Amino acid sequence: MIGILDYGMGNLRSVLKAIEYLGGAGVVTAEAAQLNGCEKLILPGVGSFGAGMRNLRARGLDGYIKRRAAAGTPVLGICLGMQFLLEESEEEGVFAGLGLVKGRVVPFTQGKIPHMGWNGVDNMRGQLFAGIPAGTRFYFVHSYFADTAEEFTLGTTEYYRTFASAVGKDNVFGVQFHPEKSGEAGLQLLRNFMRS
């Protein structure tokens, strides 16, 4: 069972449908009693960092995610959910994140913003990208990106600059793009996470 964390924002149902399409079982919830029975957790996200973190804290999910990650539970953050994994964000002020991956969320300063549409991911590494060729295109919608060290970067993308489009540390993973909206390649990435 995969727990999809419901903090009142995000593309929860599309992620659940993708998991179910792949033959997995999932539950959308904010209740620890239900999440405790889940082997893996997905933190989706659409919206602003500050509002999202406030919602996570209001539901007690910030501490819950940290405890489960520390216990070795695989966690996948998607889009804004990936950004939550970092230490802080500069979106509409400075806000603390979960701090599971070192780095900060910073704005694009060039190009059309938001960065929206299909773009390639290179320098892929790790189980998350097993069977996915370098340069594979995924669907992005974001105005901020992860500024993190190479050791935490699992994939990179070019949009007026090179940025980390996938991050990770141990059992914690994050992707800036939307695998649930990225066709077969996105499904393969979710399949890999389900097998992690």
Catalytic residue among 38, 88, 91, 178: 178
Q: What's the distance, CA 68 to chain centroid? A: 16
Which of 71, 89, 73 lies closest to 81 in space, CA to CA?
A: 89
158 is catalytic: no
SS3 147: strand
Q: Give the number of other CB atoms < 10 A from CB of residue 111.
A: 10
b/e for 8-40, b at 16 or more Cβ within 10 A?
ebbbbeebbebbeeeebebbbebeeeebeebeb
Token look-up 């209001």 returns 58
Catalytic residue among 87, 92, 180, 184: 180
C-alpha 22/C-alpha 24 separation (Å) is 6
Catalytic residue among 79, 88, 91, 142: 79
142 is catalytic: no
Which of 55, 37, 66 lies closest to 169 in space, CA to CA?
A: 66
Which of 42, 53, 38 lies closest to 84 in space, CA to CA?
A: 53
38 is catalytic: no
Catalytic residues: 79, 178, 180
